[in-house]
Structure formats: structure tokens, C-alpha cells
Amino acid sequence: MRPVVLAIALIAISAAGGDLAVAAGNRPAPHVVIQPTFSDSGPEPQLSRILEEIEKNRLDTALEQTEVLLKQYPTFRVANLIKGDLLLARSMPLSTFGNAANAPQEKVNDLRDEVIARLKAYRNPAATANYVPRYLLQMRPDQKYAIVVDTQKSRLYLYENGGSEGGRPRFVADYYISHGKLGGDKTDEGDKRTPTGVYHVTSSLSPQKIGDFYGSGAFPINYPNEWDKRQGRKGHGIWLHGTPSDTFSRPPKASDGCVVLSNVDLDALAKNLQIGLTPVIISNSIEWLSFDDWQNERGALNKKIEEWRSDWESRDVNRYLKNYSKKFQTKDQDLEQFAQQKRQVNAGKEWIKVKLSNLSMFRNPGKEELVVVTFEQDYQSNNLNNQMKKRQYWIREDGNWKIVFEGAA
């Protein structure tokens, strides 16, 4: 076996392991058969076949397949590096991945990391046929798609609204992504981290407006959101965007905080994005729920929201306030001020009717048990009628779901 086989095969071995992060207490029963599905529209299938040929010492076949891959993706640097190694292997023994003379080791390591991330996702895809991301508890009817990003796996998952199927989101495709150079959990301006949380696409920026560096376009998200601001998180300008015209893709950790896709993947994704509607949930590592556990968690939260609505209609302020956290705040009131205002307002009410529609619920990734709830509210009483779009943040407090923030969405 020629040394190049050992050198590049190490990458394939590194990519062999995989895991399914299942939410605590919701691990699959022994009889469950996991049927993984994945999108194979990108270069991963061809890349996997090339490395398989290298592992089998069929280097000429591997070179031919690499040439085919480069015809499809001429600026795919990983494929160019593999081609260079395969050509060098004809005349000299190779001891590592990326043997070209004077090859910057940092850039070679970045490309090696990209190969491993792509192959792990391809060879060990998430169990999207039997599980759903814990975060997608409920999409409103007009939200056609949702995005979930796993920074640890450098992967973006696209889900379609289940609609008539009990609202269960359906897996559509997944894509390789780059993210912040220093990882996730953004807290400060310029910290080169990608935020973790529940966001929405806010606008679409054309390549003519933003320049070639961002590729075929960009879609800003609303970082920092209300919860980020309350936690003191700073920064701005977090986008989903593409790559420069001379670059097919970037290493897994290569951005200043944005989520970066190849232009071909961004273009495919862009067809499904709705400005102001599409949720973008960014997690360090996705938690997955079985359909039954997902339905139970969703049902429990819907029940609490209905209790809050019913308690409001009761005009019993003490009963109503039991739905709110001790840490509750609006943009300009704490719980005590909020309670005082509600008592004053309700003193003049003879009846109250509250109707909720277009409700969505997205669980926030991370250690905090936090759910972002958004809905359209139709409030009617004997002396006031109004409609508004409202957003609430619910947290676990003393074992119960409580509202910790609410305001206009």
C-alpha cells in the first residue's frame, strides 16, 4: 500500500464515527429501527467514493473521479488538494494530507477538517426519518419552512411545515456550513462566534448590494433578539450568506460569526426562505425527540398557553399572574409594575375575550429551558378592542412553565 493511501485514509477513519444526540429521557427503545435520510445534492457522495478508492489503493480511479468532481465544482479546494496529492503520489512517497511544496499547514488542516465534517454528515446522517429537532415544537400555518443549524457538525437542516400531519415538521435537505472561527455562544461584538438561539430571517440582500465576498446573496437574522439583549449579548450583522466566486466552500470554522453556505446550496435554500417568517434556530449540538415525545412536549406547552389565555379572560388578576415568572420583565416594567397596571386596568373591565391565532413555539437551544412563543392576539373587552402580534418567552421555574418576557413581535 503506497503511503498516500495511509495518509488520506486517516481522514476517512476520522469520519467513521457518528452519534445521535437524543434529548435526555427520550432515548430510542431497542426495537426502534432508525432510517437515516439525507440530502446528497452536494459533493459528499463523490468525495466519499474517492476516498474509498484511495483506501483500496485504486489511485488512478480515484484521480479520475476527482477530475469529474472538479469539473462540477472547479473551485472546490478540497478536491484540488486531493488531486495534487494523487499526482504527487506517482513520483514520490507521501506522508500526510496536503503534500504540495510550501503548502501552508494551517490551510491544509482547515481543508482536512472540512473533509472530516462532510464525510461524518454523509456516512452518519442524523436520524431525520424517526426523530425531529426538539426546537421545532410548532410552526404557524404560513411558515412553510424552518432552519436548524448544528455548529458542532457544521450542518444546516431544512424542515417543511407538517401542516395537516399534526404539525410535525418534515425533513427536506441538509447542507454543509461554515460558522464562527471561535465556535458558538456569541456574547460580544467582534468575538468571532456564532450566536445560539431562536431567530428569524429579516431581509434579503442581493450580491450587487453586498459584494462578491458574500457570494450569491445574504439573509440577515434578528440577532440580538429580545432574549439576547436581556442577557447582555452584543453584536450585529449575523447573516446566512454564500462564498466568493473563486471559493466553493470554506472550512468549518471560518466566519466572523455568520452561517456560510456554498453558493449552490444558498441558492437552493433561498427558494424556501420567507422574509420575516422563516425561523433560524442555531444550536451547538441538536437535541432530537421521537415523534411521541415531541407531541407530548408540544401538547404540554399548548396547554399552558391556553391556561394563560383562559386566566386572562377570567379577570382574576391573581390567577392570571400565576402564569408569570418572578423574573418577568417587559421592555419597561418588572413583575410588580406589570401586576399593578393589570389590577388598575381590570378594575374597569366587565368582560374580556382573548383569541390567539397563527401560534408558533420554538424551544431555545442550550442549557436554559426556554421556549419562544409568537402569535396574533385579538383582544376584546367592554371598553377596548385591539389586535397585535405578540412574542413571549416561557421558562421553567419551580417545575412549571412561566412567562419571563412578553412584548410586541
Residue 135, Cβ neighbours under 10 Å: how many? 25
- The amino acid occupying position 95 is S
Per-domain boundaries in the chain: 3-123, 131-286, 290-408
Task: Classify residue 212 by its DSSP letter.
Answer: G
Q: Which CATH number does 131-286 carry?
A: 2.40.440.10
Q: What average pLDDT score do residues 297-312 get?
A: 96
H-state helical runs in 285-328: 291-314, 317-321
Q: What average pLDDT score do residues 117-138 get?
A: 90
The angle at the Cα of 395, spanning 153 to 144, to the nearest 5 degrees, equals 55
Whole-angstrom distance, CA of residue 304 vs CA of residue 328? 16
Task: Return the SS3 of 79.
Answer: helix
Least confident stretch, 71-75, 87-91, 227-231, 347-351 = 87-91
Residue 19 has what pLDDT? 52
Q: pTM to 2 decimals?
A: 0.89
Q: Quickly count helices (H) and strands (E) in the chain.
A: 11, 18
pLDDT over threshold 90, residue 393: yes
Residue 108 has what pLDDT? 85
Q: Bigger pLDDT: 101 or 258?
A: 258
Per-residue pLDDT of 204-262, as tens digits, reads 999 999 999 999 999 999 999 999 999 999 999 999 999 999 999 999 999 999 999 99
- pLDDT band for position 21 (cuts 50, 70, 90): low
Q: Which three cell numbers stand for residue 338?
A: 406589570
Residue 12 has what pLDDT? 54
Residue 56 has what pLDDT? 84
Residue 15 has what pLDDT? 56
pLDDT over threshold 50, residue 181: yes
Task: Classify residue 272 by its DSSP letter.
Answer: T
- pLDDT band for position 27 (cuts 50, 70, 90): very low
Residue 15, Cβ neighbours under 10 Å: how many? 21
Per-residue pLDDT of 144-162, as tens digits, reads 999 999 999 999 999 999 8
Please, which residues have CB within 8 angstroms of residue 225's CB and are 6 or more apart in sequence? 197, 198, 199
* Summary mean pLDDT of the chain: 88
Whole-angstrom distance, CA of residue 323 vs CA of residue 316? 12
Residue 350 dihedral angles phi and psi, to the nearest 5°: -95, -30
Q: Which CATH number does 290-408 carry?
A: 3.10.450.50
pLDDT over threshold 60, residue 32: no
Residues forming beta bridges with residue 260, ordered by sequence position: 178, 241
pLDDT over threshold 50, residue 1: no
Per-residue pLDDT of 127-137, as tens digits, reads 888 899 999 99
pLDDT over threshold 80, residue 99: no
pLDDT over threshold 70, residue 3: no
Residue 57 has what pLDDT? 83
Task: Return the SS3 of 5.
Answer: helix
Residue 174 has what pLDDT? 94
pLDDT over threshold 90, residue 166: no
Residue 54 has what pLDDT? 84
Whole-angstrom distance, CA of residue 183 vs CA of residue 252? 10
Residue 162 has what pLDDT? 84
